[in-house]
Amino acid sequence: MFEQREHETPLLHALRLLARGASVVCIAIILLFLFGEGFNFGSVTGKQWVGLLFFPVMVFVGLVLAWREEAVGGIISIIGIAGIYLVYGLLLNGSIWQGWAFLPFLVPGVLFVLYKALSVTSIQQGRVSH
């Protein structure tokens, strides 16, 4: 789980571990928001359900999935954050800016996608050099 993979350079290994560590922190924060103070599902409006679909649901699912499928999970997580700003913010509330609070949740998704992109490049370069 945490061992260096066959195709990984030490830098790629560190990037993967950093992405996983950041995802654990983000997942923990999401769980604290949902269950730390209690969440009253009955008081959520239709618009808010749309927002909740993007954050925390898509972000959570993406970060969990990224542990097995880095690119897919990372992209789902990034789409979740983009959805908060574009769909929930701009289309439903008339303002794209929803504050800084969601932006740190982009970090692990971007790191997972970057890891996958660099990993594929590393594998392709290894095949060419053989």
Q: What is the pLDDT of residues 33-67, one digit of tens each?
A: 888 877 777 888 888 888 889 999 999 999 999 99
Alpha helices in the chain (DSSP H): 10-31, 46-52, 59-65, 70-83, 93, 106-129
Whole-number pLDDT of residue 20: 97
Domain edges within the chain: 10-129
Confidence of residue 128 (pLDDT cuts 50, 70, 90): very low
Task: Provide the CB-side half-sphere exposure for 11 (13 A, CA).
Answer: 5
Average pLDDT in the chain: 89
The structure tokens listed for 79 are 């789409």
pLDDT for the residue 46: 85
pTM of the predicted model, to two decimals?
0.87
At residue 129 the predicted structure's pLDDT band, cuts being 50, 70 and 90, is very low
Instruction: Give the C-alpha distances (Å, rounded to integers) separating 22 from 13, 52, 76, 129.
Output: 14, 21, 16, 33
Question: Confidence class of residue 124 from pLDDT cuts 50, 70 and 90?
Answer: confident
pLDDT value at residue 108? 98
Residue 114 token pair: 């970057």
Least confident of 26-30, 63-67, 125-129: 125-129
